C-alpha cells in the first residue's frame, strides 16, 4: 500500500514541471528565437512536443505564444483557419485585436464549417488572405504591447505539407511554404518554431522534382534536442523507479542501467520502467531481460515497427538499398562502420553505386536513423533502435 501511495503522491511526468534535463536547451532556443525562426527536427519520441509544451507553459517575459499539432491538417484552408483561431485566442481582450480579419469576414464574423472559414456569402475565405491578414493583425496588436513578440509553435509540419500535397496538389503545398517564408521574414515581431519527426527535406525533394525552386527554411536555424544528457537521464530513471514504488537494492545501478538501455530517451525510460515487476527486487540484469522481452513481443505498444514502415514511406524506389545499409550496420560486430566497410558489406547483397550509397547514408543521418562519429564512421543514432532492428530483421 505504501508504494501505491508514493506513486500517487509523485507528480505526473507529462506535466511541464516534470520535464527534466531540457532547461539548457530551452534557454538556448529562446535566445535563438530572439534572432530568427527555427525548425526543430529529430526522431519521434525524443521529446520535441514535450519541449514545446514546457516552453509554452513557462513563457519568458515579453513573449506570447500558441501551439498547434498540424499532423491532422489536410488543406491550406484548414491551416489558415487554425492560425486565425489560435491568434484570436491569444489576442482576446487585446486592443485592436484582429481588426483586419473582422473586416475580411464581415460584421457577422463569418462562420466556420468543418474547420474552414466561410465568408458571409458562404464562400470559403481565401487562405492566403486569411494568413496575411491574421499576421498583419498580430503585428498591429503587438505594437500596443512594447517589447513583446509572438511565436507560433507548429508541430509536425512535414505531415501537414504531405497532406496538402496529396489532397490539393503539390503546387498548393509549394505556395504554403512560400507564404510562410514571406510572413516570417516580413514581420520581425513574429517567430515560427516548426517541428518534424519526418524530415521536411523529403517533402522538399518531392516538390523540387515538380519544379519548385524555393528554399523555405534557409532563413531558419535547425535545432535538434537529441536524447537527454546521461546525468539527466539517469536522474529521471531514478525518479521513475521511485515513482512506481519499485524495489531496488542498488538504486543507482538500476537507474544507470534503465537509462542506458533506453538510450537516455525519457519516453522509453518510462515505458521500460512500466514493465518492471512491483514485487521483485529489480536489478540491471532483470531490466535488460525485460527490455529483451519487450523488443521480441508482437504485442508491444512501443510501435518500434514505425522505423521499418518509415523506410518504405520515405525511400520509395530505393528501399532495398536502405534496408541493406541498416542491416549491415545493425549486424556488424563493431557498431560503427566506415564508408568503405559499409560499401563492401552491402556489395555482397547487391550491386552498389558509390554515389547513391553516399547520398543514402547522408539522408539516413538527416532522418536520424544514423549518426556519423568523430572518426567519420556511421552507426545507429539510438542503440535501442539498433537492438530492436537486429531482432526484427532476424540478423
Q: Which domains does the chain have, with CATH numbers?
A: 22-223 (3.40.50.300), 228-296 (1.10.8), 306-392 (1.10.10.10)
Q: How many CA atoms lie within 13 A of 211 on its CB side?
A: 4
CB-CB neighbours of 113 under 10 Å? 11
Q: According to the model, what pLDDT value does residue 126 have?
A: 87
Q: According to the model, what pLDDT value does residue 323 have?
A: 97
Give dist(CA 192, CA 175) in Å, integer. 17
Q: According to the model, what pLDDT value does residue 1 have?
A: 31
Q: Answer left, alpha or beta for residue 376, where phi above 0 means left and psi between -120 and 50 means alpha.
A: left
CA–CA distance from 156 to each of 92, 118, 135, 216, 286 (Å)?
A: 26, 26, 21, 16, 36
Confidence class for position 218, pLDDT limits 50, 70, 90: confident
Give the tens place of pLDDT for each residue, 283-329: 999 999 999 999 999 999 999 999 999 898 888 889 999 999 999 99
Residue (of 57, 60, 70) closest to 33 by Cα position: 60
Give the tens place of pLDDT for each residue, 90-143: 887 665 566 666 767 664 455 554 467 777 767 788 899 999 999 998 998 898
Give the tens place of pLDDT for each residue, 341-378: 999 999 999 999 999 999 999 999 999 999 999 999 99
For the whole model, what pTM was predicted? Answer: 0.86
Is the model more confident about 174 or about 245? 245
CA–CA distance from 89 to each of 160, 198, 289 (Å)?
A: 22, 29, 49
- pLDDT over threshold 70, residue 37: yes
Which cell numbers in the block locate residue 15? 506535466
Give dist(CA 38, CA 55) in Å, integer. 14
CA–CA distance from 343 to each of 2, 330, 368, 379, 383 (Å)?
A: 57, 14, 20, 14, 22
Residue (of 49, 20, 28) closest to 264 by Cα position: 20
Q: Kindly write down the DSSP assignment for every residue of 245-266, as one continuous string.
A: T--BSSHHHHHHHHHHHTTT-H
- Which range of 12-21, 38-47, 83-92, 121-130 scores highest in mean pLDDT? It is 38-47
Confidence class for position 13, pLDDT limits 50, 70, 90: very low
Q: According to the model, what pLDDT value does residue 219 have?
A: 81
State the distance between the two ends of the chain, measured CA to CA, in whole angstroms: 44
Supply the Cα-derived Rg of the chain in whole angstroms: 24
Give dist(CA 164, CA 77) in Å, integer. 10
| Mean pLDDT of the chain, nearest integer | 87
Give the tens place of pLDDT for each residue, 50-91: 999 999 999 999 999 999 999 999 999 999 999 998 998 888
Give the tens place of pLDDT for each residue, 227-240: 999 999 999 999 99
- pLDDT over threshold 50, residue 24: yes
- pLDDT over threshold 90, residue 16: no
Q: According to the model, what pLDDT value does residue 110 have?
A: 54
Does residue 83 contact residue 117 with C-beta atoms inside 8 Å?
no
Query: CA 272: distance to chain centroid?
Result: 21
Amino acid at each position: 500500500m505504501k508504494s501505491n501511495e508514493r506513486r500517487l503522491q509523485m507528480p505526473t511526468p507529462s506535466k511541464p514541471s516534470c520535464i527534466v534535463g531540457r532547461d539548457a536547451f530551452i534557454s538556448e532556443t529562446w535566445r535563438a528565437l530572439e534572432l530568427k525562426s527555427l525548425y526543430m527536427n529529430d526522431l519521434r519520441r525524443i521529446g520535441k512536443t514535450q519541449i514545446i509544451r514546457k516552453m509554452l507553459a513557462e513563457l519568458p517575459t515579453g513573449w506570447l505564444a500558441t501551439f498547434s499539432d498540424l499532423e491532422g491538417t489536410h488543406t491550406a484552408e484548414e491551416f489558415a483557419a487554425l492560425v486565425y483561431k489560435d491568434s484570436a485566442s491569444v489576442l482576446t481582450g487585446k486592443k485592436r485585436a484582429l481588426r483586419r480579419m473582422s473586416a475580411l469576414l464581415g460584421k457577422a464574423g463569418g462562420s466556420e464549417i468543418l474547420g474552414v472559414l466561410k465568408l458571409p456569402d458562404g464562400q470559403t475565405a481565401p487562405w492566403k488572405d486569411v494568413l496575411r491578414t491574421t499576421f498583419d493583425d498580430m503585428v498591429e496588436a503587438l505594437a500596443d504591447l512594447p517589447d513583446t513578440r509572438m511565436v507560433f509553435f507548429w508541430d509536425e509540419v512535414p505531415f501537414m505539407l504531405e497532406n496538402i500535397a496529396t489532397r490539393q496538389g503539390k503546387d498548393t503545398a509549394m505556395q504554403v511554404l512560400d507564404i510562410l517564408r514571406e510572413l516570417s521574414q516580413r514581420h520581425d515581431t513574429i517567430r515560427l518554431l516548426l517541428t518534424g519527426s519526418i524530415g521536411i527535406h523529403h517533402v522538399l525533394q518531392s516538390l523540387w522534382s515538380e519544379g519548385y525552386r524555393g528554399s523555405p527554411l534557409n532563413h531558419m536555424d535547425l535545432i535538434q534536442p537529441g536524447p537527454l544528457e546521461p546525468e539527466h537521464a539517469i536522474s529521471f530513471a531514478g525518479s521513475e523507479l521511485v515513482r512506481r514504488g519499485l524495489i531496488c537494492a542498488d538504486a543507482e545501478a538500476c537507474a544507470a542501467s534503465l537509462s542506458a538501455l533506453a538510450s537516455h530517451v525519457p519516453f522509453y525510460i518510462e515505458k521500460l520502467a512500466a514493465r518492471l515487476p512491483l514485487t521483485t527486487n529489480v536489478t540491471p540484469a532483470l531490466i535488460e531481460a525485460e527490455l529483451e522481452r519487450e523488443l521480441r513481443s508482437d504485442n508491444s505498444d512501443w510501435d518500434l515497427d514505425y522505423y521499418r514502415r518509415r523506410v518504405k514511406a520515405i525511400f520509395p524506389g530505393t528501399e532495398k538499398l536502405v534496408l541493406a545499409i541498416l542491416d549491415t550496420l545493425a549486424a556488424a560486430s563493431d557498431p560503427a562502420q566506415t564508408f568503405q566497410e559499409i560499401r563492401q558489406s552491402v556489395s555482397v547483397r547487391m550491386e552498389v553505386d558509390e554515389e547513391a550509397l553516399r547520398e543514402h547514408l547522408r539522408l539516413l543521418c538527416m532522418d536520424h536513423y544514423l549518426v556519423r562519429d568523430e572518426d567519420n564512421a556511421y552507426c545507429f543514432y539510438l542503440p535501442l533502435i539498433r537492438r530492436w532492428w537486429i531482432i526484427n530483421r532476424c540478423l
